[in-house]
Chains A and B, each alone.
Chain A
Amino acid sequence: MRAHLRSILLSGLIAVLALGASAFPAQAAMPVEFIRETANEVLVILKDPALDSDAKIARIEKIAYARFDFETMSRLVLARNWRRLKPDQQREFVEQFKKHLSVTYGRNVDAYANESVDVTGDRKEPRGDWTVQTKILRGGPSQDILVDYRLRQKDGDWKVIDVVVERISLVSNFRSQIQEIISRDGVDGMLALLRSKNASGESILPEEDRKPGEKAAD
């Protein structure tokens, strides 16, 4: 028993050291599995004939909430503007950005019934990040779409911090937009615009289901 515990501690220590030293042969498969698993979960939900659109959207939102690091994404989108925001403004930005992404990307769930996802490669990035390259196969005459996910570890779990669709980085694209809006309307104007944009799209999950940090349904 004791020996067992010690070997767990030891392997934990080795894992930590390996991480710190950026030696990661054992680590390498993890991001790919994370993406594969997430894609499969999403596809199962999309193809479930028992679920209506709202139920599908709600479930996919939960997965996104658990697997995207919206705070890091927000910091990257705001870049040096991040520190210009007061803490409550930062919180609001993260919240609005999160809501915006979930609402817009959940909206067309019914269009994706025939899709499948292939992982086509992965690579290590600076700062311990990892990129997993995928191809969404849409079936029929529709063309495939290349989607790369950039992942970063947070509290031991991989989280998505950028999505690159057909070579267009979402973070870069939103950064351009947000900088443009801040330079025109200021920080308050930018937050007001996000609020009104989100209010015009439907909020799909009822408020009580939007608890921060909630885990995805397994």
Chain B
Amino acid sequence: MRRATRTSPPSALLIAALAFVLAPAVARAADPAETTDAETTAAEAPVADDAAGAEEATSPTDADPFQTFNRAMFDFNDSFDTYALEPVARGYDKVVPHRAQTSIGNFYDNLLFPIRFVNDLLQGEVDPAAVTLVRFAVNTTVGVGGLFDPATDIDLPAHRADFGQTLGKWGAPPGPYLVWPVWGSSNVRDTVGILVDAYFGIQTFFVDLPILIGSTAVNAVNRRALALETVSDVRDASFDLYSAARNAYNQQRDEMIKGEERARAERDADLYFFEDLEEEDVEIP
């Protein structure tokens, strides 16, 4: 069985789609006028007859005290995606061949080496750190400056590591869910992580600001182009895209921090909890 640290390129792709790109996506179902009730969490269904039973219904991962702010950011990201990012990505997709997109994606992925390596070490993950190091060496040389990913072909697949995850493994709780403009899904812990990683990454490469901005834009458009179908599939498949994105982010981050087995056990305990109640014939309000 694979360990959590494995989180390979498909996961990275999906996280890219769900966490970063999905956030700027349509919340067709969401009517802003109806989300003004900030205190209404998912747990508090508008059924007046039972305040008592409400607390065990919702997974703690669904807690969302800043939902009003988050929904506003989500709607902004949605417009940003609809009117800017996605059209640009579609144009880009027509011009740039898919293989080139993959290579550009590989190139940016390879640049994450210092962040991943340091975080692997901070997490005490010695073997993954070694994998990260060898991947960087192989992909930078044999893989022509990171454009290709021969390391995966020799069974050294990529895994993500970031400072938010490090903080989580050190025991920091995620804190409330947050949606940031353009960036998308996050939480308090991961926001700190992003800032630390970004500062560290910029210090490492000390590029000029215009180059940094241009490069970030290319990376964003390229990622969006690679995720065109995934995002439109997820949009079609969701009833409420905002909570779908939140749940997906929470599930994947949980797994990256707790490891596959523990995250799964906790998720299943939550999912099948109500069946236990039914079997024991406990009155469910």
**Contact surface of A with B, Cβ cutoff 8 Å:** 76, 79-84, 100, 104-105, 107-108, 111, 121, 125-127, 141, 143-146, 162, 165-169, 171-186, 193-194, 197, 201
Give complex CA distance A125, B269 in Å. 11
Partner of B9 from A143, A169, A176 at Cβ < 8 Å: A143
CB-based contact B271/A194 at 8 Å: no
CB-based contact A201/B239 at 8 Å: no
**0/1 interface trace, chain B 5-16, chain A, CB 8 Å (1 if under):** 000111101100
CB-based contact B247/A80 at 8 Å: no
CB-based contact A104/B58 at 8 Å: no
Which of under 10, 10 to 19, 20 to 34, or 35 or more describes the interface residues of B?
A: 35 or more
Give complex CA distance A105, B41 in Å. 30
* Also in contact, A174 and B239, with CB within 8 A (given A167-B260, A169-B267): yes
Chain A neighbourhood of B240, CB < 8 A: 177, 180-181
Q: Is B280 an interface residue (CB 8 A)?
A: no
Chain B neighbourhood of A181, CB < 8 A: 29, 239-240, 243
* Also in contact, A121 and B1, with CB within 8 A (given A104-B236, A126-B272, A167-B11): yes
Partner of B238 from A146, A177, A183, A184 at Cβ < 8 Å: A177
Give complex CA distance A3, B272 in Å. 44
CB-based contact B239/A194 at 8 Å: yes
Chain A neighbourhood of B172, CB < 8 A: none
* Also in contact, A177 and B243, with CB within 8 A (given A125-B268, A166-B11): yes
Chain B neighbourhood of A111, CB < 8 A: 229
Can you report 27 residue pairs joining A to B where beta carbons are below 8 Å apart? A81-B57, A84-B45, A84-B47, A111-B229, A125-B268, A126-B272, A127-B272, A141-B99, A143-B8, A143-B13, A166-B10, A169-B251, A172-B59, A175-B59, A176-B243, A176-B244, A177-B244, A179-B42, A180-B242, A183-B42, A183-B43, A183-B45, A184-B40, A184-B46, A193-B29, A194-B239, A197-B29
